[in-house]
Chains A and B, each alone.
Chain A
Amino acid sequence: MREIGTAFVAGVMAMWISLPAQAAGGGTAPPAHQWSYSGLFGTFDRAQLRRGFEVYKGVCVACHGLRLVAYRNLQDIGFSENEVKAIAAEIEVPAEPNDDGEIEDRPGLPSDRFKSPFPNENAARAANNGALPPDLSLIVKARAGGADYIYALMTGYKDAPANLKVPEGMNYNEYFAGKMIAMVAPLADDGIEYSDGTKATVKQQAEDVTAFLAWAAEPELEERKRMGVKVILFLLLLTGLLYVVKRRIWANVH
């Protein structure tokens, strides 16, 4: 048993070694926020994801793409097939060449990926004072602090301290690396209207859109955790049995 103990400690140590602080790069560390999907058993809140999509579609889509997510994926968060078809059909994408070899536009299909607002990086920068609004498909995984950071950023716009001069076209946000961000505060109270009647405060919208982006970054999260619980239970049982077998087989050695 003593050896198991030490082996265990060594394992924990090794995990702990792997913990080197991910240098946040200048912004204030975001406070921890409670998410419905955190923890071993947490799941997404469908109604919230739906509202989050409404925020994305109503606000962020003007500047940010979501190019890795397909419209059909929305069915996973509770949109019906017809709703998805209608949402997809709102965009226009280049079709396959027709019989005359011309490329025309066609309405979007559920199998299409979200259409980005700008055709290329230069166009995006030209429209945003030279700043590049990043694609948001993976943003929650691509920032230290994850969802907590995105939420803090959305709700973190404040007046700059008196001694700080904010350059033209920049905004003060203490959570952003360098504290000066080119994005204007995107959310405003009642900036959009929720279809389920929820009051659209800045906090509410920020929380909803962050949850939506967390889903966009990790659409497998629920399946992963559900499978994880089963796998761990199975392994605990198997390992327990193996331990018993091991004891019995070794009984005549000690």
Chain B
Amino acid sequence: MVQFHKPAWLENSLVRWVDHRLPIFSFMSHELYEYPTPRNLNYWWNFGSLAGIVLVIMIVTGIALAMHYTPHTSLAFDSVERIMRDVNYGWLIRYIHMNGASFFFIVVYIHIFRGLYFGSYKAPREILWMLGVVILLLMMATAFMGYVLPWGQMSFWGATVITNLFSAIPWGIGDWVVTLLWGGFAVDNPTLNRFFSLHYLLPFVIVGVVVMHIWALHVHGSNNPVGIDTKGDQDVIPFHPYYTVKDMFGLGVFLIFFALFIFFAPNYMGHPDNYIPANSLSTPAHIVPEWYFLPFYAILRAVPDNFIGGWTTEWLGFIIFEAKLAGVLAMFGAIAVLFVLPWLDRSPVRSSRFRPMYKWFFWIFAIDCVVLGYMGALPAEGIYVVISRVATVYYFAHFLVVIPLLAKFEKTKELPKSISEPVLGGGGGGASAAPAKPMEKA
């Protein structure tokens, strides 16, 4: 069994003096040093701390960019090019920030799928999970507004398309929201100004939610690949040095991928049209959002315009649905459904390792998301529309039909008695395993 002990630096007299008055050192020691962590976390557990590091990278490079950027429609594009050409290492700062946004989403999407696979959203981690979804929404808003700032063609037209979506909200609220977003009657200088202001603000809101996310995490500790609660000291190890060094190693691997893009393919994930200055008189042939929005964009376009609009207007009489509304609702619904996932999935077993059927449906769902991503990039015509619709229906069916049904009918495998049992190779197969029973109250 691994020994738990307080770090030596807590005994330093100055540290003790401060700690007696403001226990910041014992807090750090408790949460980052001794913090007991399941001993069996695999590398999928690296992505949470990676996301935190990427967030810091984004904030640091973003602040540096803001020192040289000018949020005015006539200067924004050129000010970005000045950063690229005349600011010392400006190209490096900008390419880190630009690719950093994509990598942030890669990391967080993997982090979320990790949660889906190992059932990390289940009791007692529902609030932790919901805070994560809030972070995802905030990230999307931040990334969307950031993409507008260089004021290229995709910036402008992306902003126009996405802000217009809000006009689908009925009762005149939509138009009010759109005018508020624009600061006028079209995407223009006031829009750029407020987007810059908010793009600077939101990452700090994200920091705030991440603090709560980690606070919630530290109440019950991490879930783990086996998905059962820790039962005592034999199941856990101190966070430091075990997970600090593992996270550092993971960070190294991550940075290699990140650097390959920054230095050798910095525009690979971008769209060439954004190197054309914004022009409100010339619409690009295809308006495509950044790749990380593509699955949601596909869902938006998959819903036929007259889906609800047609009959509800008569049916509910007083509700006037604009044609677009159904698509917009579906798009936001795709994220909203994540919020209620902990209550849709009533299966008592967390980890897919002991859920032979859910495991399969998890992968089908993952493929479905990739398919949606591809459809989002392709023009909405012909067979692509059909595929988008099927994939969209499946997306929702996964959460609203498959998961609730599995909870009822799936025959889960027997759970091991404790984490250390399979880890230490103590359990002789299923013989000593306890039958799957509802999650213990931790």
Contacts and interface: CB of A to CB of B under 8 A. Distances in A.
B252 A242 contact: yes
A141 B44 CA distance: 36
Nearest to B84: A220
A249 B272 contact: no
Size category of the B interface is 35 or more
A232 B102 contact: no
Interface in B224-261: 237, 241-242, 245-246, 248-250, 252-253, 255-257, 259-260
B318 interface: no
Contacts of A62: none
B370 A17 contact: yes
Contacts of B255: 235, 239
B259 A239 contact: no
Nearest to A237: B252
Interface in A16-62: 17-18, 20-23, 25-26, 40
A73 B81 CA distance: 14
A20 B378 contact: yes
Contacts of B109: 14
B97 to A, nearest CB: 15
Contacts of A235: 252, 255-256, 259
Given A18-B269, A142-B276, A232 B44 contact: no
Interface string A100-142: 0000000000000000000000000000000000100110011
Q: B44, B268, B275 — which one has the most chain A CB atoms within 10 A of its CB?
A: B275
B377 A228 contact: no
Interface residues of A, number: 51
A138 B275 contact: yes
A219 interface: yes
13 contacts: A6-B43, A6-B44, A11-B257, A18-B106, A20-B288, A23-B288, A177-B285, A224-B266, A228-B264, A242-B252, A245-B249, A250-B242, A250-B245
Interface of B: 2, 39, 42-44, 46, 78, 81, 84-85, 91-92, 95, 102, 106, 109-110, 237, 241-242, 245-246, 248-250, 252-253, 255-257, 259-260, 262-264, 266-269, 271-273, 275-276, 285-286, 288, 291, 294, 370, 373-374, 376-379
Interface of A: 3-4, 6-7, 10-11, 13-15, 17-18, 20-23, 25-26, 40, 68, 73, 134, 137-138, 141-144, 146, 177, 217, 219-220, 224-225, 227-229, 231-232, 235-236, 238-239, 242-243, 245-246, 249-250, 252-253
